[in-house]
Amino acid sequence: MNLKPQDIFVALKLIALGDEPWSYVRLAHDLHMSASEANAAVKRGLHAGILLPPLVGSKSPSPNRTALKEFLVHGVKYAFPPDRGELTRGVPTCHAAPPLNSLFVQTSEPPPVWPCAKGKVRGTSFSPLYPSIPEAALADRKLYELLVLVDAIRAGRARERNLAIDELVRRLKER
């Protein structure tokens, strides 16, 4: 059973939820995917070890922050490299979005964006891990910032990648 990009998306949503209770219906709604896709992503996450089985007194699996950090820092850019494309309207990502955009001087070069009709920025198309990421990110700032950090690791230059790794590791340690 191999990980799919949406498995990372689901795991990051669980990080963003923190200790809030969740259900497959909620995950499906929040992530704009079917409940069966959410369920399959959790099963693959458990099999790969990026999610932990429910703890005593809990009904839901939880993120394995250590394993997720290891995969995101060392494997995500090889397993799920992004495709870049033409100019389009979308939602900024990588160095062009929070929390990284305040750390870099913005150039005249078009920013990387996830293509999205609801996006307000014109930039270079950057493929998200899963097609519904732009809409889910617009509704959940915490999730959006985690996804931006992962994208900077997937495709950023060395400085962007290192800053993203530091920030992602800090956020994964938070409880």
pTM for this predicted structure: 0.95
State whether CATH 1.10.3710 applies to domain 5-78. no
What number is the average pLDDT over the span 14-24? 94
Instruction: Indicate the burial class of 94 (C-beta count within 10 angstroms; 0-12, 13-18, 19 or more).
Output: buried
Q: What percent of the chain has pLDDT over 90?
A: 89
Furthest-apart CA atoms within the chain: distance in Å: 53
**pLDDT band (50, 70, 90) for residue 174:** confident
Spans of all domains in the chain: 5-78, 81-173
pLDDT reading at 136 higher than 90: yes
Whether pLDDT at 175 is above 70: no
